[in-house]
Amino acid sequence: MLRKAVLRRSHGCCENPGCRDNQPVGWTDSGDPILEVDHVVEHAAGGRDHGENMIALCPNCHALKTRGRGRAELTLRLVRVAAERNRAAIDRSKRT
């Protein structure tokens, strides 16, 4: 359920503000955009299963966050982005 909530929040686009092409690269058989919902701070490092610690990333940005040279800086940026987007999604849901 949390995964679906993060995908809805992303509107089908990569949530990395530095993504070169944040449009979906394609769609799954079930109609979901091809995005990888990831823990910004990994479980092993104390990351929680919560919307403010989950982010939708395209496969390229997920690889950058996981294995890229600038992964530490990207992770710091994504911590902020995930928290902001989660708060905005909660605010939107309260207004409806």
Taking a C-beta distance cutoff of 8 angstroms, is the pair 89, 9 a contact?
yes
Which residue's structure tokens are 């207004």? 95
In order of 37, 49, 84, 96, the CA distances from 91 in angstroms are: 21, 20, 11, 9
- 7-24, pLDDT tens digit by residue? 999 999 999 999 987 777
In order of 9, 29, 30, 36, 86, the CA distances from 53 in angstroms are: 13, 27, 25, 14, 9
- 36-53, pLDDT tens digit by residue? 999 999 988 999 999 999
How many whole angstroms separate alpha carbon 3 and alpha carbon 39?
A: 10
Percent of the chain with pLDDT over 90: 64
Closest CA to 7 of 37, 31, 27: 37
